[in-house]
């Protein structure tokens, strides 16, 4: 295909303190086999050399657009700024320290066209700070989910369980699917899942691939592993949103099991962050945990998954008992 007949893909990259990895990220984007791209770099008022690097890339490749925010808006605000400027037929998101395989866009567009899908999802490959492969996170087999099919929500619950829905990256959205949608800027955790669920509310056809086309740079010191006060509140909000999305289909045992598994694991992911947090009393830590474990609507789903959730036996027992004094003793 030539550029003038290829569908145009807008790739939105929020940029903040990423000077070490931005070059590798953009080499992977500009080197895509699918050439008709709009690469939107949203500098989120980054204090390092990223603003200059964004401008340099925009000068040397006319497919690159540098957008500079005068005040930091966070990843969600930066992605929203990119959505305002996206003019492609399709939209993708890539984080500024991550990579795309060279044929990721071409493959995704081909599958979207071939399967008449407005959402294509693919797997990820964990890489370290030096770009070395750690492991793949993929489903066993490709899944094609047709809107209106009897197993639509059952299949989506599998993707939720397999961590295929949560991030905004690793996906190709048709622009019409995300028209008018925006990320919630008051959230610091799982705001990306709420965006994806809002898109899925529009009942798109979905194609999901087992190919690990996204290189996710895993760093233990990254913000994803650091506790912020909002995280426990955001887990509660996101778990309510998941339950809202699947609620009419909970009579399907697969939906119920996959949803409860995901909800419990989200709590299990945040508990160690709270435990490691400094400058917070054990009483406050217990309060933050019990915000997640004690919600009356969510608790039956969470406790039903304790037998197979990814957390320690001690954490499972504490959630089952859910007594403030036990949490204080554990978290001090």
Rounded to whole angstroms, how far apart are CA atoms 108 and 121? Answer: 8
CA distances from 311 to 48, 188, 233, 298, 328 (A): 38, 22, 20, 18, 18
Which pLDDT does position 199 carry in this prediction?
98
Q: Which two tokens stand for residue 141?
A: 């087999």
Q: Which two tokens stand for residue 271?
A: 């508990």
Which residues does residue 212 pair with via DSSP β-bridges, in sequence order? 123
For 125-193, give the DSSP string: EEE-TTS-EEEEE--SS-EEE-TT-TTHHHHHHHHHHTTSSS-SSSEEEETTTSTT----TT-SSSHHH
Q: Say if residues 99 and 28 touch (Cβ distance below 8 Å).
A: yes
pLDDT digits (tens, 9 = 90+) for 101-112: 999 999 999 999
Closest CA to 174 of 86, 76, 62, 99: 86
Contacts of 71 (CB under 8 A, 6+ apart): 45
Which residues does residue 217 pair with via DSSP β-bridges, in sequence order? 127
Q: Say if residues 3 and 88 touch (Cβ distance below 8 Å).
A: no
Rounded to whole angstroms, how far apart are CA atoms 36 and 29? Answer: 11
CA distances from 298 to 8, 146, 166, 228 (A): 42, 29, 19, 22
Residues of the chain with pLDDT under 70: 1-4, 220-225
Q: What's the CATH code, domain 9-217? A: 3.90.550.10
Contacts of 214 (CB under 8 A, 6+ apart): 94, 98, 99, 100, 101, 104, 122, 123, 124, 125, 169, 170
Which pLDDT does position 227 carry in this prediction?
77
Which pLDDT does position 218 carry in this prediction?
85
């Amino acid at each position: 295909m030539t550029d003038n007949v290829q569908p145009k893909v807008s790739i939105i990259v929020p940029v903040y303190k990423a000077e070490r990895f931005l070059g590798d990220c953009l080499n992977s984007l500009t080197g895509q086999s699918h050439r008709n791209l709009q690469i939107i770099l949203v500098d989120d008022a980054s204090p390092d050399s990223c603003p200059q690097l964004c401008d340099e890339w925009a000068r040397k490749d006319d497919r690159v657009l540098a957008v500079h925010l005068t005040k930091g808006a966070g990843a969600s605000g930066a992605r929203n700024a990119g959505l305002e400027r996206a003019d492609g037929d399709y939209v993708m998101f890539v984080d500024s320290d991550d990579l795309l395989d060279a044929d990721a866009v071409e493959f995704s567009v081909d599958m979207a066209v071939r399967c008449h899908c407005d959402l294509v999802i693919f797997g990820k490959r964990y890489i370290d700070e030096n770009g070395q492969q750690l492991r793949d996170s993929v489903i066993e087999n490709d899944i094609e989910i047709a809107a209106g099919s009897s197993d639509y929500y059952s299949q989506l619950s599998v993707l939720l369980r397999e961590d295929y829905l949560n991030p905004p990256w690793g996906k190709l959205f048709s622009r019409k699917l995300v028209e008018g949608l925006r990320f919630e800027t008051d959230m610091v955790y799982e705001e990306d899942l709420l965006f994806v669920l809002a898109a899925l509310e529009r009942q798109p056809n979905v194609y999901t691939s087992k190919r690990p086309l996204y290189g996710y740079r895993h760093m233990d010191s990254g913000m994803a592993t650091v506790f912020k006060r909002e995280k426990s509140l955001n887990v509660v909000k996101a778990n309510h949103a998941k339950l809202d999305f699947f609620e009419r289909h909970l009579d399907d045992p697969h939906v119920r099991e996959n949803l409860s598994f995901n909800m419990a694991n989200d709590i299990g992911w945040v508990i160690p962050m709270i435990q490691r947090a400094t400058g917070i009393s054990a009483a406050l830590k217990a309060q933050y945990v019990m915000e997640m474990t004690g919600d009356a609507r969510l608790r039956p789903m969470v406790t039903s998954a304790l037998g197979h959730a990814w957390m320690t036996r001690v954490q499972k027992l504490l959630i089952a008992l859910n007594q403030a004094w036990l949490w204080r003793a554990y978290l001090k």
